[in-house]
């Protein structure tokens, strides 16, 4: 079974229990401890990412916090079982 179809069948079981599922896609170029802190701690990597993002810089943890918080708000109550990518506009 293709992964997306398998995920759909797996997630459908949560609806009966009224469980909402939202997933933030894997973090792209964010200056955190992820992957050993390479984006945060390696100036060359950080510069390369900055040159390839719409915002002209690598993401910061404080960029993601409000997005994660919005997933939990009542305003997003109708949105569930979605994969939402937060990638700072890499290579657009």
pLDDT digits (tens, 9 = 90+) for 34-91: 888 999 999 999 999 899 888 899 988 888 888 888 877 888 878 777 777 777 677 6
pTM for the structure as a whole:
0.59
Strand partners, 11: none
Q: How confident is the model at residue 6 (pLDDT cuts 50, 70, 90)?
A: very low
Structural contact between residues 39 and 58, judged by C-beta atoms closer than 8 angstroms: yes
Closest C-alpha to 46, from 63, 68, 64, 28: 28
């Amino acid at each position: 079974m293709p992964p997306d179809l398998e995920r759909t069948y797996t997630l459908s079981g949560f609806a009966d229990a009224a469980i909402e599922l939202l997933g933030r896609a894997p973090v792209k170029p964010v200056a955190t401890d992820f992957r050993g802190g390479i984006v945060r701690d390696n100036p060359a990597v950080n510069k390369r990412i900055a040159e390839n993002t719409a915002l002209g810089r690598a993401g910061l943890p404080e960029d993601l916090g409000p997005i994660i918080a919005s997933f939990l708000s009542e305003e997003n109550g109708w949105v569930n079982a979605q994969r939402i990518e937060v990638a700072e506009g890499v290579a657009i």
